[in-house]
Structure 1
């Protein structure tokens, strides 16, 4: 693996680790949980060193809706059973099942898991770094909606994703619009009503960066753009 990239990530991780952290959107006033339970909410993801004007909008209503045609098309670029990491209310799990595939979602949000289970969808309240069913046999591992940021360590996350795949399996990584984006930082979710989560480690990477990490892992990477969104497809 690229020594310079490892050194850079370690230095950034040390900086991120200097403050309090939690899992994505957890802690504090739990704005993500509130939005999921309410069935709507436009949250903002704010970097500790940034401002609310620079925040990334997160539309929880979209997570609760059905998968888009574009998302179904991207899933269609893979074969076999699907593991959706950070599945939220599990719209992609539903889409995969509706296409005739086996699928499972995992998420750390109790509200998202409860919502998915109430709809009869197979999900687990679990982190990607916990032991998971059928490790090494998944045909597809999905990281949509910026979930490449989980844990604030893209190398560790993509390494874990690769371990979960069977030989020839594909990891779908939705990336930042800037292909050169490569940032690790502390973030916070903010509800329009002012409710804030605890700070949690997060990351944003562009297509070139994600492809480089995948290449360092011995994976073949290609980039596709669907409905204005960019995805890296990394094949084990």
Structure 2
């Protein structure tokens, strides 16, 4: 449902309202823009085949491909995969915790944009990333100083519309 709700919201303010009432602004504009700024830190450390878990609309996958690096985005959202492909990136609609191509052979696994939360268990996701990597591969993790871990239900809010 999130993919359907967020479709077409590029450029519009979007937030997640947690069940405890806390409102977390979501950087939708950043996710849909070309890679830049802080993204460069992650991209500059990718020197070989890279797997972007939770690739969203594919800004990092596309930037890596433009640098001539093999990169694959993985997202559970059909809309995200479609947007990545439209941008010229390569992506598969899959669960990051399920079977993925080239397991054990990736140089890097990217977890950007809060994707450490995929599956609701960061430790499990990091163990999964380790299985995906070749020996001496790296997990490149972007953490946001929003205020720690949270797990629960929430509603997306954008342009005066509140999701289910």
Same fold (TM over 0.5): yes
Q: Could you say which structure has the larger radius of gyration? A: 1
For residues 1-236 of structure 1, the aligned pairs below 5 Å read 26=1, 30=2, 32-48=3-19, 50-51=20-21, 54-177=22-145, 181=148, 183-192=149-158, 193-197=160-164
Contact 1:106 1:123 in 2 (8 A): yes
TM, length-normalised to structure 1:
0.63
State how far apart, in whole Å, the 2-side matches of 1:38 and 1:62 are.
12
Instruction: Provide the alpha-carbon RMSD of the alignment.
Output: 1.9
Give unpaired runs (5+ residues) of structure 1.
1-25, 198-236
Contact 2:52 2:61 in 1 (8 A): yes
**Count of matched residue pairs:** 163
State how far apart, in whole Å, the 1-side matches of 2:75 and 2:9 are.
18
SS in 1 for 2:153: strand
Residue range with higher mean Cα deviation, 123-132 or 113-122: 113-122
State how far apart, in whole Å, the 2-side matches of 1:132 and 1:143 are.
15
Give unpaired runs (5+ residues) of structure 2.
none
SS in 2 for 1:140: strand
SS in 2 for 1:37: coil
- Map Cα deviations across residues 121-172 of structure 1 (whole Å, 9 max, x no partner): 2100111111100001111100101110111101111100111011111101
SS in 1 for 2:128: helix
Contact 2:50 2:106 in 1 (8 A): yes
